[in-house]
A and B are shown apart, each in its own frame.
Chain A
Amino acid sequence: MNEPPAYPFRNPTALEPPPEWAELRRSCPVAPIRLASGDRALLLTRYDDVRQVLSDPRFTRQLDAPDAARATAQESGGVFGSLGRSMTGDEHRAWRQLVGRAFTARRVTAMRPRIEAMAGHLVEEMAARGQPADLVSGVGFPLPVWAICDLLGVPDTDRDRFSYWSDTLLSMTRYGAAEIDAAQAEFDAYLVALVEAKRAGPGDDLISELLAMVEGLDGRLTERLMLSTAKGLLVAGHETTANMIGKMASMLLADRSRWEALLADPSLIPPAVEEVLRFDANPGFGMPRYLSDEVEVAGETLPKGTTVVCSLAAANRDERHFERAGELRLDRAPNAHVTFGVGPHSCLGQALARVELQTVLKVLLERLPSLALAVPPGELERREGLIVGGLERVPVRW
Chain B
Amino acid sequence: MKVVVDEDSCCGAGQCVLLAPEVFDQRDEDGIVVLLDSEPGEERHAAVREAAAVCPGAAIEVEEG
Q: Do A and B actually bind? A: yes
A130 to B4, CA, bound (A): 54
B13 within 8 A of A: yes
- Cβ–Cβ contact A97 & B31, under 8 A: yes
Complex Cα distance, B29 from A346, in Å, reads: 19
A101–B57 CA distance with the chains assembled, in angstroms:
17
Q: Residue of A at shortest CB range from B17? A: A105
- Report the count of interface residues on B (CB-CB < 8 A): 22
The interface residues of chain A, by DSSP majority, are classed as: helix
A288 CB to nearest chain B CB (Å) = 18
Task: Confirm or deny: A348 has a beta carbon within 8 angstroms of a beta carbon on chain B.
Answer: yes
Asked if residues B56 and A105 are in contact (CB atoms below 8 Å), the reply is: no
Complex CA gap A344/B14 in Å reads 13
Which one of B14, B21, B25, B57 has the highest number of Cβ atoms from chain A below 10 Å of its Cβ? B14
Given A97-B30, A104-B12, A346-B13, are A341 and B54 neighbors across the interface (CB < 8 Å)? no
Partner of A335, one of B18, B32, B54: B54
Assembly CA distance A374 to B25 (angstroms): 43
**In the assembled complex, how far is the CB of residue A295 from the closest CB belonging to chain B, in whole angstroms?**
19
A378 to B49, CA, bound (A): 38
Asked if B31 contacts A100 (CB within 8 A), the reply is yes
**Shortest beta-carbon distance, B21 to chain A, in Å?**
8
In the complex, whether B36 has a CB less than 8 A from a CB of chain A is no
A137–B53 Cα gap in the complex (Å)?
36
B11 close to chain A: CB less than 8 A: yes
Q: Is the CB of A336 within 8 A of B31?
A: no
Q: Are B12 and A106 in contact (CB under 8 A)?
A: no
Tell yes or no: A128 within 8 A of B by CB. Answer: no
Whether A103 contacts B12 by the Cβ 8 Å rule is: yes
Please state if A354 and B12 are interface contacts (CB–CB under 8 Å).
no
Most buried by B among A101, A105, A343, A354: A105
The reply on B58 being an interface residue by CB < 8 A is: yes
Residue of A nearest to B13 (CB): A350
List A contacts of B50 (CB < 8 A).
333-334
Bound-complex Cα distance A104 to B29 (A): 10
Pair A334/B28 contact, Cβ less than 8 Å: no
Residue among B11, B18, B56, B58 with the most chain A CB within 10 A? B56
CA distance A345 to B28 in the complex (A): 20
When distances are taken between beta carbons in the complex, the residues of chain B under 8 Å from A98 are 30
Contacts of A354 in B (CB 8 A): 18
Q: Which of B25, B54, B56 contacts A106 (CB 8 A)?
A: B25
Q: How far is the CA of A55 from the CA of B59 in the complex (A)?
A: 12
Please tell me which one of the listed residues A103, A335, A344 contacts residue B57 in the complex, with CB atoms under 8 A apart. Answer: A344
Q: Annotate B22-48 by CB proximity to A: 1 below 8 A, 0 otherwise.
A: 000110111110000000000000000
Q: Across chains A and B, which 6 residue pairs bring their CB atoms closest together, nearest first?
A: A105-B14, A100-B31, A105-B17, A97-B30, A334-B53, A351-B14
| Chain A to chain B contacts (Cβ below 8 Å), 8 pairs | A55-B58, A97-B30, A101-B31, A105-B14, A105-B21, A345-B11, A350-B15, A351-B14
Known contacts A100-B31, A347-B13; 12 additional CB pairs below 8 A are: A96-B12, A97-B31, A100-B32, A101-B28, A104-B12, A104-B31, A108-B14, A333-B50, A343-B56, A343-B57, A346-B57, A350-B15
